[in-house]
Amino acid sequence: MLLSTAKRTNLCNGVMNDQFDIRIGSPEDAEIFAKLGAQTFDESFGHLYAPKDLNAFLADNHTKTANARMLGDPAYRLWLVEDGDARPVGYGVGGPCDLPVPDLPEGSGELVRLYLLKEAYGKGVGSALLEEVLAWLRENFEHNFVSVYAKNYGAQRLYARYGFVKIHEYDFMVGSHADPEWIMKLA
């Protein structure tokens, strides 16, 4: 069952001691998603890029306007993970596939983003969030894809555990910097 915008999913299930909740984002959350998106991307990958490239990428992809556009589009769904104090610590995005997939089937979906602050790592939050996004993607799209940095081995292992397999490689641009990237398809 999918969550309504008013419902929350407690991630503890008797294991996590009410530490985290997942909720579906609303248009009022656009700035929260923008700030959290920039923070998590910088925290995870910022060290790989020159400041000019990182800032250009964040300015294009992690803005209030960009997130408001997705939050207002029924083809997308955004999830926000909050800790026990209702502080945002992660998020996920699902929607139509916009990846350079060879012979992309019409109506394909994409796990667009799945990010956590490092403080939320290793607590089952990423898996729980991924399960929410995948459930929605499976309900809405026949074929689903994800793009992952070629050296992000932890994410590759996580996606593989959930049935994703590598099908293609391409260059993902962060400013003028080209990153080797994998495209994985949900089998």
Domain CATH for 66 = 3.40.630.30
pLDDT of residue 50: 95
Please check whether residue 5 lies inside any domain of the structure.
no
Please check whether residue 42 lies inside any domain of the structure.
yes
Best CA proximity match to 40, nearest among 113, 94, 116, 154: 116
Best CA proximity match to 78, nearest among 139, 155, 146, 23: 23
Which three-class secondary structure state does DSSP give residue 69?
A: helix
Q: What is the pLDDT of residues 49-88, one digit of tens each?
A: 999 999 999 999 999 999 999 999 999 999 999 999 999 9
Other beta carbons within 10 angstroms of residue 149's beta carbon come to 17
Please check whether residue 98 lies inside any domain of the structure.
yes
Which three-class secondary structure state does DSSP give residue 95?
A: strand
Structure letter (DSSP) for residue 86: S
pLDDT of residue 11: 47
pTM: 0.88
Please check whether residue 1 lies inside any domain of the structure.
no
Please check whether residue 55 lies inside any domain of the structure.
yes
pLDDT of residue 19: 84
Q: What is the pLDDT of residues 81-139, one digit of tens each?
A: 999 999 999 999 999 999 999 999 999 999 999 999 999 999 999 999 999 999 999 99
- pLDDT, the chain, mean: 91
| Angle made by CA atoms 22, 148, 53, in degrees to the nearest 5 | 100
Question: For the chain, what is the domain count?
Answer: 1
Split at pLDDT 50, 70, 90, the class of 5 is very low
Phi, psi of 147, rounded to the nearest 5 degrees: -110, 135
Split at pLDDT 50, 70, 90, the class of 18 is low
| Angle made by CA atoms 136, 98, 4, in degrees to the nearest 5 | 25
Please check whether residue 133 lies inside any domain of the structure.
yes
Domain that includes residue 126, residue range = 17-186
Split at pLDDT 50, 70, 90, the class of 2 is very low
Question: What's the whole-number mean pLDDT along residues 148-162?
Answer: 96
Other beta carbons within 10 angstroms of residue 48's beta carbon come to 13
pLDDT of residue 12: 37
Please check whether residue 92 lies inside any domain of the structure.
yes
Please check whether residue 8 lies inside any domain of the structure.
no
Let me know how many helices (H) and strands (E) the chain has, helices first: 5, 8
pLDDT of residue 4: 34
Question: What's the whole-number mean pLDDT along residues 155-165?
Answer: 97
pLDDT of residue 16: 40
